[in-house]
Structure 1
Amino acid sequence: MSTDWLGSLVSINCGVTLGVYQGAVSCVDHASQTISLRQPYRNGVRCPVPEVTFSAMDIKELKFQDIQNTVNKRSSGQGSATEPSFISAGAHGQSNRATSDSAHSSSAPITILRRVPAGSSNSRGAAHATQRRNGVRNGGARGPVRSKDDECFGDGTDEDLDTDFDFEGNLALFDKAAVFSQIDGTSGHSNKAQPQSAQAEQRPQSYRHDQNILEAKPIIYRQITVPLHGSKEYCTDSGLVVPCIPYKLHKRLLEAAEHWGLSVKRRLETIGVCSSQMALSLLGGPNRLNPKNIHQKPIVILLCGPHNQGAQGVSCGRHLANHEVEVILFLPSFVKMDESVAREVSLYSRTSGVQVASVSELPASPVDLVINCLDSHENPQLKEQSWYRSAADWANRNRAPVLSIDPPVSEQTVQAKWTLSLGLPLPLAGNESKLYLCDIGIPKLVYKEVGISYHSPFGCKFVIPLHLVQ
Structure 2
Amino acid sequence: MSSDQFQTATGRQIPAVTAAEMREVDRVAVEEVGLQVLQMMENAGRALAWHVRDIGDSPVVVVAGNGGNGGGGLVCARHLANRGVTVEVILDRPAADLTGAAAHQFETLSAMDVPTHETVNDVLQSREPSVIVDALVGYGLEGALRTPASTLVDAITMAGRGETSVVSLDVPSGRNATTGNAFVPVVEPDRTVTLALPKTGLDCGVGRLFLADIGMPAVVYERAGITYDSPFEDGDWIELTPSESV
Q: TM-score range by the shorter chain?
A: 0.7 to 0.9
Counterpart CA distance in 1 for 2:167 and 2:215 is 21
**Structure with more relative contact order (C-alpha pairs < 8 Å, separation 6 or more):** 2
Note the C-alpha offset of 1:363. Answer: 4.2
Distance 1:379 1:239, change over 3 A: closer
Q: Is the 8 A contact 2:169 2:192 kept in 1?
A: yes
Of the three residues 375, 397, 404, the one matched with 2:137 is 375
8 Å CA contact 2:192, 2:206 repeated in 1 = no
Corresponding residue for residue 20 of structure 2: 248
Q: Secondary structure at the match of 2:134?
A: strand
Amino acid at match of 2:102: V
Assess, with a 3 A threshold, how the Cα gap between structure 1 residues 432 and 316 changes in structure 2: closer, same or farther: closer
* Percent of paired sites with the same residue: 23
Q: Which runs of 5+ in 2 are unaligned?
A: none
Match in the other structure for 2:235: 461
2:66–2:98 Cα contact (<8 Å) kept: yes
Deviations 1:8-63 (A, max 9, x none): xxxxxxxxxxxxxxxxxxxxxxxxxxxxxxxxxxxxxxxxxxxxxxxxxxxxxxxx
Distance 2:227 2:141 in 1: 30
Is 1:301 the counterpart of 2:61? The answer is yes
Contact persistence 1:308–1:338 (CA under 8 A):
no
Counterpart of 1:389 (choices 144, 150, 166) is 150
1:401 equivalenced with 2:165 (yes/no): yes
TM-score, with structure 2 as normaliser: 0.85
Letter in structure 1 aligned against 2:41 = L
Residue of 212, 217, 221 corresponding to 1:443: 217
| 1:341 matched residue in structure 2 | 102
C-alpha contact (below 8 Å) 1:278/1:463 kept by paired residues: no
Q: Is the 8 A contact 1:307 1:341 kept in 2?
A: yes
Q: State the Cα deviation string for residues 98-155 of structure 1 (Å, max 9, x = none).
A: xxxxxxxxxxxxxxxxxxxxxxxxxxxxxxxxxxxxxxxxxxxxxxxxxxxxxxxxxx
TM-score normalized by the length of structure 1: 0.46
Give the secondary-structure state (helix, strand or coil) at the position aligned to 2:125: coil
In 2: Cα distance, 1:376 partner to 1:245 partner = 14
Aligned partner (choices 35, 59, 62) of residue 262 of structure 1: 35
What is the count of residue pairs matched by the alignment?
228
The 1:390/1:421 distance shift into structure 2, 3 A limit, reads same
Alpha-carbon contact 2:2-2:18 (below 8 Å) kept: yes
Unaligned runs of 5+ in 1: 1-227, 285-297
Counterpart AA for 2:228? Y
Contact residue 303 and residue 370 of structure 1 kept, 8 A: yes
Structure 1 residues 381, 348: CA separation in 2 closer, same or farther (over 3 Å shift)?
A: farther
Cα 1:379–1:456 shift into 2, 3 Å: closer
The partner residue of 2:84 within 305, 324, 329 is 324
Structure 1 residue 445, shift from structure 2 partner: 1.9
The answer on whether the counterparts of 2:19 and 2:140 sit within 8 Å (CA) in structure 1 is no
Query: Highest Rg: 1 or 2?
Result: 1
Give the aligned CA root-mean-square deviation in angstroms: 2.0
Aligned to 1:424: 197
Per-residue CA deviations over 1:68-101 (Å, capped at 9, x if unaligned) read xxxxxxxxxxxxxxxxxxxxxxxxxxxxxxxxxx
- Contact 2:65/2:135 (CA < 8 Å) preserved in 1? yes
Instruction: State the partner residue of 1:134.
Output: none
TM-aligned CA deviation for residue 346 of structure 1: 0.2
